[in-house]
Amino acid sequence: MVQKHYVTYNQIHKLCQHSATRILQDFRPNLMIAIGGGGYVPARILRSFLKQPGTPNIPMQGIGLSLYEDLGRDDPEEAPGTKVTRTQWLDLSSLEMTNLIGKNILIVDEVDDTRTTLEYAVRELEKDVKEVTQKLGRTGEKTNFYIFVLHNKDKPKKGRLPDDMIQEGRYLAAETVPDWWICYPWEATDIDEHDRLVAEAPTSTNGSA
Amino acid sequence: MVQKHYVTYNQIHKLCQHSATRILQDFRPNLMIAIGGGGYVPARILRSFLKQPGTPNIPMQGIGLSLYEDLGRDDPEEAPGTKVTRTQWLDLSSLEMTNLIGKNILIVDEVDDTRTTLEYAVRELEKDVKEVTQKLGRTGEKTNFYIFVLHNKDKPKKGRLPDDMIQEGRYLAAETVPDWWICYPWEATDIDEHDRLVAEAPTSTNGSA
CA B171 to chain centre: 10
A207 pLDDT tier (thresholds 50, 70, 90) = very low
Residue of A nearest to B51 (CA): A187
Distance (Å) from the C-alpha of residue B178 to the closest C-alpha of chain A?
A: 25
- Closest to B49 in 3D by CA, of B17, B1, B72: B17
A206 pLDDT band, cuts 50/70/90, is: very low
> A94 — contact with chain B (CB < 8 Å)?
yes
Nearest to A64 among B36, B48, B60 (CB): B60
Put simply, whether A34 touches B (Cβ < 8 Å) is yes
What gap in Å lies between CA B178 and CA B98, rounded to an integer?
A: 40
Beta-strand ranges (E) seen in chain A are 4-6, 31-36, 60-67, 84-88, 104-112, 144-153, 171-177, 181-183
Task: Quote the pLDDT of residue A70.
Answer: 46
Indicate if A113 belongs to the active site. yes
Q: Model pTM?
A: 0.91
Using alpha carbons, select from A60, A70, A67 the residue that is nearest to residue A114. Answer: A67
ipTM of the complex: 0.90
Residues 105-164 of A with CB under 8 A from B: none
Q: List phi, psi (to 5°) of A47.
A: -55, -35
Q: What percent of chain A has pLDDT over 90?
A: 69
**Mean pLDDT in each 10-residue stretch from start to end of chain B (209 residues)?**
93 98 97 94 98 90 79 48 82 74 96 96 94 90 96 96 97 97 97 96 54
